Amino acid sequence: MRITNKVMQNNALTNINRNKELTDQLNTQLATGKKILRPSEDPVVAIRALRLASDVNDVNQYYKKNVPDAKSWLELTESAAKTSISVIKDLIEKCEKGSSDTLTTDDRKIIINAMKELKNEVYATGDADYAGRYIFTGYRTDTSLKFPEATTQDYHITQKFNYMDVEEKSFISTGALGEINEQNYENTGSALASETDVQETKYYRIQLAYDNLMDAGTGSLNVTDKAGAVTSFTTTTETDAEAAYAQAQTDDDAVIFVPSTGELVLGKNAYEQMKNVDNTATFDYHKEKWEKGDLRPQHYFACETTDPIVGVIPYNEDYPTTGTLGQEIKYQVGFNQHIQINSYPEEIFKHGIGRDVDEVVDLADKLTDIENVVAKLEAMQKDEANYDTDQLANIGKDLDAAKKAQTYLRDQLQKTFSHYITKMQGYLNSANEALTTIGNRASRLELVENRLEDQSTTFRTLQSENEDVDETEVAVQLSSTQVSYQAALSATADMIQKTLLDYL
């Protein structure tokens, strides 16, 4: 093969150019710290870099955003649950004090006033929010748990029960004792009240979530047994609670709706049907007048209301069949991994807490009224100057009836306090169970966070190994390449100075 000067020059320039390209590449790698700048330089490295960058971004989203957000939500939920548990424990303590048979009227007033405040505090905690979102209201994070102000809005509510919701209660009839004063202690010349007027009536009832309901007329209590068979009991409405209690004693098939007290009073047959194990029942009712602090029904039951613009708005339509609201708020905290962060209001903020406190308050007020009547009649009995013998005798009969009622009501209040120790303990157990669930979720989230931290480190290491250069190695190669380049320039300079004539 014939080698000419032109061939030698072209080959030399080509090799020098390749050396310059390698020098430029190494210099660029050393300056940027990256193996490639364009995918065409190394497609394998480029594809792997894109995949690793996507993995790193996903892990950062979970680790730096989703997990802290979920953790904050759980921490607030845990704090609210602990506050409620503390309040319920205080209610239990008040019930224990109230169950003492040595209480004075002033002692009882102190306990009752404290229980009212504690009841309000329980439900106030339910309106805890995170970044403007209520944490106990399921998907309706923009709607408070309670009504912030008194309002009028008709809700058609379907409430579900089971056999554990049926309880035996007693009612103390005091006749006309509450109306006695210095002028009307006699009725047509005889005592206004007698001991026979004071009676204790026992009855079975289901306490609804609300009182002061709308008159339902005729409805039905639908009881489903464990075999799935449905028995419907026709309900009648009775505005007089005492009359409803008395009717249930004589009518075994009676199921009486008392709107004012929010009760379903059961006759013997309905009670027997309900107490069978695994029985469930549903009942529909309406409530229109809402007081400040009442719990919104859409967070607890299947219900519907009518908006003047939107029309009928249904809530929780599956509740009658499932018994749960099923509004899980989940955060994605990993690849195909989610964790529920919200707790349901019925787990902690049960209607029964407020209803039980109100019932104790009403009973204590009734006892206080009778004690005032007793004190008034005792003062009248000592006033022999203004009353003759017959009048004093009638006052004495009224006083005997009032003292009997006082004894009955004291005993009932004491038993109610004792019974509500157990009921409040049930609410406490439920809240503790919810707190345990929250704690388990927080523990799981912590494990996920630790794993994400490890994954973030691993992916970043892989990303660095794939994209970054070894600066020391590149520097050595660059130095070697530069030496080669200078040597090539020197050799080529000597070579192109000679021609064929130099060899002749």
- Neighbouring residues of 382: CB distance < 8 A, sequence distance ≥ 6: none
- Choice among 32-36, 154-158, 264-268, 293-297 with the minimum mean pLDDT: 32-36
- Neighbouring residues of 393: CB distance < 8 A, sequence distance ≥ 6: 191
Residue pair 352/207 in contact by the 8 Å Cβ criterion: yes
How far apart, in whole angstroms, are the C-alpha atoms of residue 322 and residue 288? 26
Residue pair 125/84 in contact by the 8 Å Cβ criterion: yes
DSSP-assigned states of every residue in 264-278: EEE-HHHHHHHHSTT
How far apart, in whole angstroms, are the C-alpha atoms of residue 361 and residue 357? 6
Residue pair 34/468 in contact by the 8 Å Cβ criterion: yes
Question: Measured in whole angstroms, how far is the alpha carbon of residue 230 from the centre of its chain?
Answer: 31
Q: Band the pLDDT of 198: cuts 50, 70, 90.
A: confident
Which has more pLDDT, 503 or 329? Answer: 329
Q: What are phi and psi of 364, to 5 degrees?
A: -65, -40
Residue pair 143/172 in contact by the 8 Å Cβ criterion: no
Q: Band the pLDDT of 114: cuts 50, 70, 90.
A: very high
Q: Is the pTM of this model over 0.75?
A: yes
Mean pLDDT within 164-185: 83
Residue 270's pLDDT is: 86
Mean pLDDT within 71-97: 94
pLDDT of 266 above 80: yes
